[in-house]
Every structure is written in C-alpha cells, then in structure tokens.
Chains A and B, each alone.
Chain A
Amino acid sequence: MKRVAALVAALALIGVTTWLVWPSAPKVRAQDQKITVVDGPSDDQRVELDTTFFPPPGGGKAPAVLIGHGFGGSKQSVRQQAIRVAQDGYAVLTWSARGFGRSTGEIALNSPDYEVKDVKQLIDWLAKRPEVLLDASGDPRVGIVGGSYGGSIALMTAAHDQRVDAIVPQITWSDLADALFPNAATQTPSAPTTASQGTGASDQGGETATAASTGEGAGGTSSTAAGQETAGAGLGQPESGVFKRMWAGIFFGQGVSLESFALQGQGQQQAAEPLTPQQARCGRFLPAICDIYQQVAEDGKATPEAVALLRKSSPITVAGQIKAPTLLLQGQRDSLFPLSHADANAKAIAAAGTPVSLAWFDGGHDGGNGEADWLFEQSSAWFARYLKGDGAAQTAPPVSAFTVTRDGGRDPGTRQRIRLHPEAASYPGLAGTDTTTVQLSGPEQSVVNPPGGAPASLSTVPGIGGLLGGQNTAGVSIDMPGQSAAFESRPLTAPLQLTGSTTAKIKVTGTGEATLFAKLYDVADNMQPPALPAGLVAPIRVTIPEGAGSVEATITLPAVDHRFAVGHRLRLVVTTTDMGFATAAEPATYQVSLASPTLAVPTVRTLAAPPSGVAWWVWAMPLAAVVIAAALLATGRTSSLAPAGSRVRRRAVPTVAGNGAAHDAAAAVQSAHDASPEQGGKPVPLEIRGLTKAYRNGELAVDGLSFRVEQGQVLGLLGPNGAGKTTTMRMMMGLIRPDDGEIRIFGDRVTPGAPVLSRLGSFVEGPGFLPHLSGRDNIELYWAATGRPAADAHFDEALEIAGLGKALERAVRTYSQGMRQRLAIAQAMLGLPDLLVLDEPTNGLDPPQIREMREVLKRYARDGRTVIVSSHMLAEVEQTCSHVVVMHRGRLVSAGPVSRLLTSESAGASTGNGHGLRLEDVFLDLIGDKS
C-alpha cells in the first residue's frame, strides 16, 4: 500500500511539475495604427487604412505575414488568426481593406488601381519596421494569406508586387466575371453529326470503361465552337453566362449594408444622420462598380463593360506575373467560387514556372467543416518553407502538390466525423489522371421553363449553407416536376471515386436561347432521396441557331470529389430553373436528350490510395501482450514454491512422542530424521522444521518452529494470542508461504495446492461457506470441488457430527455461529482425512456439544488418524489431547504428552499443595517464564 501511495504521489508531482514547466504560447502584442495610403488610377486619393501590427513575440527580426479579410469583414475578423500566426514566429499585419471596417475609401473589388496599390504601400510600411526581416532595402520578407476577398488581394498583390515571397489564397476567385456569369456549356452547332455520334457511342454497350486520359481533358472529344480553351476550367464566356443572382445579391448587399455598420461603430452623431440616396443605393461601393451592378442585376446579362470591370479585379488576367510560391486552398462546398477557379489560378501560375500547390478542403462559401486547424497547418508549413528559410523548411511538414479532403467515416471512439487527406505529387487538373466512362440512358424529355422562372429548383441556397451545419450529407435538393430531364446509369459494379469535372454531351431542341442547369446525382436506391454532391449545379446557356431546331453542347459539370458506392447510380438531371440563378421570365419548352450516352468521369489514380490499412500496432500489440503474459506466467511459476531446501536451517526436531523433557528442544535431537522424515517406513503425519514467517513489518509471527506429530495423536496446539498458532496452521494448508523452513505432511512438503493436502482436513479461523446456499449444498458442492468420488465423502458421518437436522436445507446465512461452526467441522471431516487440523473447534458450542466434540475427536484419532487442535480452553485440551505443543511468540516452548508435561512440571512445583497441576498452571508458568 505504501509503495502504491508513493507511486501515486510521485506521478502527481511529475504531472504538476510538467504542467507548470510546460512552455505556454508566447504573448502577442497588438499595435493599432492608421496608415495613410495614396491610390487611384492617377494616384491622387488619400485613404486611411485601419491596421493592426503584431510584432513577432520572440523579438528580433522575423518574416512578415499580411492577413486579408473576407468580403464584409474587417481586420477584426482575422484577429485570432493573426495572433496564431504571430505565435508561429512572424510579424503580422492585418488591415481593413478600403471601404471596410474603419478604413476610409470605397470598395473597388481588389482593383489594381486601388486595393493593390494600398497593399503595396502596406508592404512599404512593413519594410520600415525594425521587427521585419528584409530581403533587400525596402523589400521585406513577406507572405500574404487570406480567404475569399482576402485571397484575391493576395493573388493580385503578388502579381503586381514582386516583393511578395509566398501567398496562401483561400476560397477565392480567378475570374470574377465567370464567378458571377458562369456558363458550363460549350456549344457544338453541327447537327448532322449527332446521329452517327450517338449510335457509335451506344454501340460500346459496356457499362463502364476506363480509358487513360489523352491529356486534353474532359472536353477533348468535343470540338469547341470558338476555338476556346477546353471547358475543364469552366471559365468560359461570361457574356453568355447565367447570372448567379443570389450570390451576387449577397455579395453586393454586404458592401451596401457595411455602410450603416461602419457608421454605428464610428459614433452616435454620425449614425443619427440619415443615409443619402446614393449611400442607400451603393453603400461603400465605388460608384462605377455600383452602377454596373445595378445594370446587370436588372436584366441578368453581362455587359462588355461589366465583364471588363470584373476582369480587372480577376487574378486570372495577371496570374502569369505571379512569382511568389502559391498554395491555393479551395473549398469543395462552394457554389460561389467553385474548385474550377482554383484550377484556373493554379494552371495560370504554374504556367509561369512558379511553384503551386492545391488543396480541396471540406469547406467553402457553402459551409462544410471549414477545417480551420488543417488549413492553418498547411499555410504554416507553406510559409515556413518559403518565408522562414532553410532551417524551418526542413522541419516543416511538406505540402503536397495536390491534396483532397475526403470523408474518413466516423471515429469509432468519439463518433465524430474524421477526414482523410490523400495526397498526390502532382496536380492532375479537373480532367483527372484517368477517365471512367459511364453509360447513361434515357429518352428525350420535354422540360418547361415556367413563366417568371418560378417555382425554381433548389440546389444550394447561397449564404445559408453555413447555417445548415457542416453535415457531409448533400443538402436539400429539389427538382420541380416538368422542369427536369433525367438520364440514369445502371447500378455501378465497382465503386467510382470522381475527382474533377465530369463531362456530358446533351442535345437541346427548341428555339432561341435556352438556359438550363445540369446536375449529377448520386442515387442510392428508391428509398432515399438522391444526393447532389456538394450541392453544385452547372448553369448552361445555349443558343439554338435559327432554323437548326436543335443544338448539341458539352457540359462541364461542377468539379467535385465524390465517391459513388457500389450499387449506386449516376443520374444526370437537366432542369430549366435554379433558385440561385437568374432565368428567363418568358415560358418556353425544350426537348433534352443525350447527344452521347457516355459520361466522362475523371478519376485521379495517384490519389486513389489514401493512407490507410491496419496500423502496425493492431496486430503487434496483442502479440506483444501475449508474449509478456506468457513471460509473466512462466517466470512466476518457480517462485511460488517453498524456499529451497538449502535455506532450511537445520534445527533439532523435537518429537512430540519423545520421552524426555521435550520442552527443552535441544535435548531432543533426532538428526536421523533430517534426511528422511519417515519412521519405520511410514510417513509421519506432520513434521515441521525451522518454520519461520515474518509479518510484513518484519516481526516474526513464527520463529524457527519445529515439531513432529505421530500417527494416532490428538495434539493440542497451545499458546496465547499472537503466538503464531493460526499462522502455522495456514502454512500447513498451503495458504501462506513460509519464509524459511518447511512443513511435511506424510512426508510431502507442503506447497500451495500440493496434492498431499487432499489428506488434510482443516478448519481454521472460522467457517467459510457460501451464504446463499443451504448447508447441504455447501457441503456437497465443496466435496464436488475437490473432484473426488462422492462415495469417498462419507457425507452421513460428517453431517451427523454437524447435527443440524432440518436446518441443513436452509441457507447458511440463516445459521447461528454454532451451527456454522459444526457445519465447518463436518466439512473438515469430509472424506475422513488422515490428518485433521481444527482451530478453536469448540468456540461457540454449548457444553453438551463440547463434550460430544471431545468424544468425536478422540474416536477419530483412535481409528489411526491424527488430529491437531488449537485451543484457548486449556481444560478442553487437557481432556481431549494426548499431546501438547506450547507456542509463545512464534517459538516452541514445550512439546510432549499431556501427562508428561503435567508430571514434569509437577515434579518441580509439587512442593505446594501436593495436588497434580492443571495444564493451566503449567501453561501460565511456561509463558510467564519466557515472557
């Protein structure tokens, strides 16, 4: 117990010390200041930017990181991130972009004339700070990180300012015009070829076939009308794009509502002023932007001016100039800036030879988990590699060229969703490394554009994705009846991991301009609603040439990473409406059919094997445990034996049968018996030699005890409390291991469970019964536990001694002390053992029972058996026993026949009254002498 307590105390001390000594994150200071910058097309507009500078907490010079905020945010929204980056060992500068927060100026959508110039001057400011590491005079070592609006300023600044050393743009756009006016269709106006293409493809017959990608990508089979890039990037012609009206409204609305928000922050007197009409209309937008928005929002068409303006704020136009290594983190759940935007950025930046890595994480403008910690780790590793220099780059984990977050099921312990991050050494693009073709089937179907475009189908509701929570299940997706055409594959025979943009070819029959929406569903069975991966749709706008009657188009479906399980079907649905987009108000009917029955599903082979498999410890640990267990058992076996004979102190063995003054142990040496404790060929019932047992505190309970008991004796073991009688008896039963010496019963040494113990009947320190069982059950089950034949038990004789009568059938817990006592003695006598050891057998018995017990024991020994009785009741011993061993403080005091003991003592003490001494007197005399 003490050792355990000491161990616990030591562990607690170690724990507390570790807790106290453990290095806590360094404290980060924040310095707020206004930085005045000059921008505008002719560099004549003064703007005050509200900034916060976080010096590196470790002191000294450190690389700097600029953290941009999202649209509608301010420097406050990135404060926590800034502190975390600063703790990582950087000087951090956050700022509210012009038109946001407490900065002055108007929103110009990251225009090179405005915001980019602002950030360049922030870099100038950083170059003057003593805390910032410089690459050259006026050129600080600086990285830019930010999400959405802040991500695009990172790209734009890196393109316009070569001093930027690394950027981590997140969930941002490459082409703002395409983001707001996407068109996923590339038109093929050659109607006559339709039939041959269709039949040719359907002849393939097979369900799925995998073909290596030609490198040209998903759009490779279609000849594009205007000789454009392949549709893989999805960045087509915004002039014909479908207006993403809900997102655009939210985007613009945030800029407008910022006005009142910011004014509230500035003070009461200003907030009281009513908004001017211009303020109410445009908020803090630059009037030019505001006007263009008003116009496009009204008719849902991108004007050339609008496209020009939006393109000015688009990194895709300048991405070739970016020399800073770029880590693009794009969300898989993003209907505003889908994965195709990161794809376009990555390709454009990589084309200039700049290192680019790309990750598709579980997040985006539509919600998802967000993976804040993982994104931080990734950007931290990126900056460590490109900002901190060689030493840090070595220790930082490498960032793969392409990483995709996938659902790893649930953590079995916490039942939380876990995410896997399979990696690839190169970015394959949206066309994947391979293409699996899936055959679709379905007749030509009519779809109706309802008047006014309502009711509209629902895929993703912009802005509320985050509110619905980060569930991995695809959100609510509703197709209105009559508005959709569906084409379905047969159930998959193998799982299909789609990574990239699937392409399909459809034929639309009708007149004029058709606005349609394509979705690719994962259909499990009829009982569950089909799942729309990431809730993404591909808007299509095709123009049916006059007189042609129909048009074919290749549709680039939204880029997703999705696993279609075995037995699931792929369903391509083409609808006329979608809540998130502006659609035509006039009613129209189109016929939609498949121009080609194949769906080209890109897969990425290099990602196909996420790090999984059985962890090594799963099999190693139990094996090791079994080996350790076997070792524990094997080594424990020998030490359970009694001490080796060599340790036995050779002591004189006084025989109780001896004639001499047996209490004088030295006088009764019988060395002949040391080696073979047999006498006349017959083993001695009990021989104890040099028996020693110490208590845990070191005090000796039994100290060098030696005596012998011969057959037919009834031996009384006498001694005051604490003399070691019970301990000796326990050692006889093999319950306690002696520290030294040995006990032999019928010549066999007693060890725990020694077979010779089967010849010993024992009753030591009270009865031990199962209280819920009856007396008879106890006795019978005890005998059954010995495994010996029931015929050998002599139940009747034993139970007669117990004398319990009908009480034998009652549960033992109802017994009195005396009844249990008698039952226990009966149990000890089961099988009529050759040696019977009874500890205080008459305790709790009434006088008639005591007398009866006395007779029983005498009779028992007369039959050639041996009985050892310990007792306090000296009168009892005197009447019952033939021989006595007297113990005191663990030592033998006297041994011999009762009569001899009394005589020898009386010889010495008979000067008194002349009467024979009682054992009591002798006993007290013996004890008194020695004590």
Chain B
Amino acid sequence: MTAAPGYAPRRTLPLRVEIIRQFKRRRTMVMFGLLLALPWILVIAFQFGPQSSGPQQASLRISDLATESGLNFAAFALSVSATFLLVVAVALFCGDTVASEANWSSLRYLLAAPIPRDRLLRQKLVVALGYSAAAVICLPLMALLAGTLAFGWNDIQVPGTGETIPAFDVLPRFGIVIGYALVSQLVVAALAFFISTVTDSPLGAVGGAVGLWIVCNILQAVEALGVLREFLPTFWNNAWVDALAPELDWSGMAKGASVSITYAAILIAVAFRRFRRKDVVS
C-alpha cells in the first residue's frame, strides 16, 4: 500500500473542481461582464452618434457598416476587440491560472495533495483555454444578439467592396471567424500560460503576455522587416476578415493558424517541461 485508499492520480483535480475554483473569482466575473456589456455599450454609442444619410460609396469601412445589420455589427465588435480586449481576456485567464495559485500559496498544497505536476498543468490549461474560448465566443454572440435587436437581421455588407451577402449564407462564415479568432488567440494563451508557470505574480504573467503582444504589434508596423513579419504571432491576427469576403480565402487564415499553433505548441511544451523540473518555493 503506497498511496492512501481511494487515491488515483488520474482522478485528481477534476475539471469541474477547477472550473468552480476559477469561476467565483472576481476577475472572471468582471471580464465576462465587460465582454457581455461591450456590445450594448457600442449599440448605445452608435445610437447617440450622428446618423449618416445612407451608406456612401466612400465609406465602406467596417465601422461605417456596423449599423447595417446585426451581422455587420458583430463583425465590427469583433474587429475592435480582437486586437486588444480579447487578448487581455485570454492572457488573463491563461496567465493568471498557475501564477495566482503560487501567489496564494495554494499551489504547494495542490502539489502535495498530490496532484501530479503534468496533470495539474493539463487540467489548469484545459480550464483556462475553456474560459478563454468562452470569452472569445461570448463577445461576438452577444454582439450578434445586440446588433440584431438594435439594427435588425439584414444581409451582411462586406467592408471594402460594399457587396452584400445573404445573412444565412454568412452564418457559417461567422462560425469560421470565431473559430479562427480562437486559434489565433492560442498563441496569447500559450504565452501567458508559459509565463504563468515561471512567475509567482499573476499580474506579471498577464502583463508579460500582453506586453510581448504589444511589442509584436509594433514590430509588425516595421515594413522593413519584410517577410519576417509573417512569422510574428500578431501578423495574421485580422485574417478572419477574409472569411467575410465574397470569396472565402483560406490562405491568410491557414498561415495565421500555422504560426499560432507553432508558437503555442512550443510554448506549452516548454511550460510543461519547466514546471516538471521546477522547485516550487512559493
């Protein structure tokens, strides 16, 4: 008899337990509240803004078309939040998860329970990714709801060309958009998660991930880097716009997914490897 009766490593830290542990946190609540409220705030903002007299040829930017339909509005909401808000949300859920346990000193008791280290990371990663995915999904869905209630269920008007695609044709495309947004945020999640395993400061993990993200965004603006920019994790961040074009173009999203998965796989592997060997002193 080596272990206590009833103990089995693969039963430790069930996902349900980890979900509850994270859900009751204030930052989880606040972040979801913000994501769910943002579409309504935008709706109010558009209602207050000066009404333009019909769409003009010159103004086919995604923001000008936002009030054309619920789908247009959802695309707009995603475009304004994907660059930063969702990044912060994902970094928060994934960067906070291990570092905050270390910060609370609860990490050592979990490890001594004992929850095998790989399993602890795996379960925490699954839950953190789950929360991140929920964040990425809930924003466009709420925007779709808010936009449909506010602006009606019309066909989507494509930014740039002003072409119109029937609403029901574009719904599956919208699924692609959300799916790609999830995949492209994977690199943020992995980066935040990796930093989370090496630091005891939750803010450091979240801030570190967001900070590196910002640096990548800045580097992306340096055209002199040429083709190298394609390998920056942020470069293909907006490739989901291609899914709303009249002709679906996968190439950008394929590259973006490739870059994202590459970084994510390596970062997560390094996180596991480091955490296994790490002396937990927090």
> Taking beta carbons and an 8 Å cutoff, which residues of A are in contact with B?
409-415, 473, 524-525, 527-528, 565, 612, 614-615, 617-619, 621-622, 624-626, 628-630, 632-633, 635-637, 639-640, 730, 733-737, 746-748, 752-760, 762, 764-773, 777, 781-782, 784-789, 792, 827, 831, 833-834
> How far in angstroms is the closest Cβ of chain B from A386?
28
Q: How far is the CA of A753 from the CA of B10 in the complex (A)?
A: 12
> Is B13 positioned at the interface, with any CB of A under 8 Å from its CB?
yes
Of B114, B118, B229, B273, which one neighbours A757 at CB under 8 angstroms?
B114
Which positions in B face A, CB cutoff 8 Å? 1-14, 17-18, 20-21, 24-26, 101, 104-119, 160-164, 220, 229-230, 232, 234-239, 241-242, 245-247, 249, 251-259, 261-263, 265-266, 268-270, 272-273, 276-277, 279-281
Contact residues in A for B101 (Cβ distance below 8 Å): 768
- 16 residue pairs of the A-B complex, CB under 8 angstroms, read A411-B252, A622-B257, A622-B265, A625-B266, A628-B265, A628-B269, A633-B269, A633-B272, A735-B111, A764-B108, A768-B104, A781-B20, A782-B113, A785-B18, A787-B13, A788-B6
Give the contacting residue for B105; candidates A413, A737, A767, A789; CB below 8 A: A767
Residue of A nearest to B279 (CB): A736
Partner of B273, one of A473, A619, A632: A632
Query: Quick one: which of B105, B116, B279 has the most chain A CB within 10 A?
Result: B279
Please tell me which one of the listed residues B161, B229, B276 contacts residue A473 in the complex, with CB atoms under 8 A apart.
B161
Residue of A nearest to B4 (CB): A758
A528 & B162 in contact (Cβ 8 Å cutoff):
yes
| Additional 12 contacts, C-beta under 8 A, given A412-B253, A770-B25 | A410-B160, A410-B241, A412-B238, A735-B279, A747-B2, A753-B9, A765-B108, A772-B24, A784-B14, A792-B4, A792-B5, A792-B6
Check A736–B280 contact: CB distance below 8 A.
yes
| A757 to chain B: closest residue by CB | B114
State in angstroms the CA–CA spacing of A754 and B4 once bound together. 11
Q: Distance in Å from the Cβ of A651 to the closest Cβ of chain B?
A: 23
- Knowing A618-B258, A755-B9, A762-B112, say if A784 contacts B4 (CB, 8 Å): no
Assuming the A-B contacts A625-B266, A753-B9, are A771 and B21 also in contact, with contact meaning beta carbons closer than 8 angstroms in the complex? no
B114 surroundings in chain A (CB, below 8 A): 734, 752-755, 757-758
- Do A787 and B12 touch (CB < 8 A)? yes
Chain B residue at minimum C-beta to C-beta distance from A834:
B4
Please name all residues of chain A whose beta carbon is closer than 8 Å to the beta carbon of B234 when the two chains form the complex: 413
- Asked, given contacts A785-B12, A827-B109, whether A614 binds B4 with beta carbons under 8 Å apart, the answer is no
Residues of chain A within 8 A (CB-CB) of B110 are 782, 785
B154 to chain A, nearest CB (A): 12
- Contact: A409 with B249, CB < 8 Å? yes
Which 4 residue pairs of A and B lie closest in terms of their CB atoms, listed nearest first?
A412-B252, A768-B105, A787-B11, A629-B269
Bound form: Cα–Cα A635–B272 in Å: 11
Task: Find A412's partner among B105, B236, B247, B273 (CB 8 Å cutoff).
Answer: B236
B8 close to A787 (CB less than 8 A): yes
Q: A759 and B262 in contact (CB under 8 A), knowing A633-B272, A736-B279? A: no
Q: How far is the CA of A527 from the CA of B163 in the complex (A)?
A: 8
Contacting residue for A622 out of B239, B253, B262, B281, CB 8 A: B262
Chain B residue nearest to A771 in the complex (CB): B104
CB distance from A610 to the nearest CB of B (A): 12
Known A-B contacts A565-B246, A735-B112, A753-B117; A621 and B236 likewise in contact (beta carbons under 8 Å) = no
Contact of A413 among B2, B162, B230, B263 (CB under 8 A): B230
Cβ-closest chain A residue relative to B260: A622
Docked pose: A413 CA to B220 CA in angstroms:
8
* B105 contacts A766, C-beta separation under 8 Å: yes
Q: Are B108 and A735 in contact (CB under 8 A)?
A: yes
Q: Which residues of B contact A527 (CB under 8 A)?
A: 164
Chain A proximity of B53: nearest CB distance (Å): 18
Determine whether the beta carbon of B3 is less than 8 Å from that of A759. Answer: yes
Nearest chain A CB to B107 CB, angstrom units: 7
Contact of B107 among A760, A768, A834 (CB under 8 A): A768
Contact A629 B261 (CB under 8 A): no
Please give me the residue from chain B that is nearest to A737 by CB atom.
B279
Contact B7–A786 (Cβ < 8 Å): yes
What residues of chain B lie closer than 8 Å to A769, measured between beta carbons? 104, 106
Cα(A281)–Cα(B273), bound, Å:
84
Question: Is there an interface contact between A765 and B277, defined as CB atoms closer than 8 Å?
Answer: no
Per the bound structure, the CA–CA distance linking A908 and B237 in Å amounts to 78
Are B269 and A768 neighbours in the complex by a CB distance under 8 Å? no
Find out whether the CB atom of B276 lies under 8 angstroms from the CB atom of A618.
no
The chain A residue with its CB closest to the CB of B256 is: A412
Specify which of A411, A640, A746, A757 is in contact with B112 (CB 8 Å cutoff): A757
Q: Which residues of B contact A565 (CB under 8 A)?
A: 246-247
- Kindly provide the distance from the CB of A644 to the nearest chain B CB, expressed in whole angstroms: 15
Q: Is the CB of B4 within 8 A of A788?
A: yes
Rounded to whole Å, the gap between the CB of A413 and the closest CB of chain B is: 4
Bound-complex Cα distance A473 to B276 (A):
57
In Å, the complex CA distance between A773 and B106 comes to: 12
Chain B: minimal CB distance from A21 (Å): 17
Give the contacting residue for A528; candidates B106, B163, B261; CB below 8 A.
B163
Min Cβ gap A819→B in Å is 15
Given contacts A622-B262, A733-B108, contact A770 B2 (CB under 8 A): no
With contacts A628-B269, A759-B3, A786-B113 known, is A622 near B261, CB below 8 A? yes
User: Once the chains bind, are A413 and B236 in contact (CB under 8 Å)?
Assistant: yes
Contact of A633 among B5, B119, B249, B273 (CB under 8 A): B273
Contacts of B21 in A (CB 8 A): 770, 773, 781
What A residues does B249 contact at CB under 8 A?
409
A622, A760, A831, A833, most chain B CB atoms within 10 A: A622
For B13, give its contact among A756, A760, A785, A834 (CB under 8 Å).
Answer: A785
A759 to B2, CA, bound (A): 8
Whose C-beta in chain B lies nearest to the C-beta of A778?
B106
Contact status of A412 and B109, CB under 8 A, knowing A528-B162, A632-B270, A640-B276? no
Instruction: Report B235 CB to chain A, min CB distance, Å.
Output: 4
A827 to chain B, nearest CB (A): 7
Chain B residues contacting A524 (CB-CB under 8 Å) are: 163
Question: Could you tell me the distance between the alpha carbons of A749 and B124 in the complex, rounded to whole angstroms?
Answer: 27
- Least distance between B189 CB and chain A CB atoms (Å): 15
Complex-state Cα separation, A624 to B276, whole angstroms: 23
In the assembled complex, the Cα of A639 lies from the Cα of B278 at a distance in Å of 11
A755 and B2 alpha carbons, distance in the complex (Å) = 7
Complex CA gap A756/B4 in Å reads: 7
In the complex the two chains form, what is the Cα distance from A415 to B159 in whole Å?
A: 12
Give the shortest distance, in Å, between A787 (CB) and chain B (any CB).
Answer: 3
* Residues of chain B with a CB closer than 8 A to A734's CB: 111-112, 114
User: Min CB distance, A831 to chain B, in Å?
Assistant: 7
Question: Which residue of chain A is the closest to B102 with respect to CB atoms?
Answer: A768
Chain B residue at minimal CB-CB distance from A785: B13
Hey, which chain B residues are within 8 Å of A754, CB to CB?
A: 114
B276 lies within 8 A of A619 (CB): no
**A789 nearest CB across to chain B (Å):** 5
A565-B247, A612-B251, A787-B13 known; A412 vs B2 contact (CB < 8 Å):
no
What is the distance, in angstroms, from A530's C-beta to the closest C-beta of chain B? 13
**In the complex, which residues of chain A have a beta carbon less than 8 angstroms from the beta carbon of B4?**
758-759, 788, 792, 831, 833-834
Q: For B2, B8, B277, which residue has the most chain A Cβ atoms within 10 angstroms?
A: B2
Residue in chain B with minimal CB distance to A736 = B279
Taking CB atoms, residues of chain A closer than 8 Å to B265 are 622, 625-626, 628-629
- Give complex CA distance A781, B263 in Å: 34
Q: How far is the CA of A628 from the CA of B6 in the complex (A)?
A: 37
- Residues A618 and B109 in contact, CB atoms below 8 Å apart: no
Closest CB-CB distance, B254 to chain A, in whole Å?
5
Contact A768 B109 (CB under 8 A): yes
A696 to chain B, nearest CB (A): 9
User: In the bound complex, what is the Cα–Cα distance between A862 and B258 (angstroms)?
Assistant: 62
- A774 CB to nearest chain B CB (Å): 9
Cα A410 to Cα B235 with chains together (Å): 13
B266-A628 in contact (CB<8A): yes
* CB of B156, distance to nearest CB on chain A (Å): 12
Q: A773-B24, A827-B109 are in contact. Are A614 and B251 (CB under 8 A)?
A: yes
Query: Is the Cβ of A621 less than 8 Å from the Cβ of B111?
Result: no
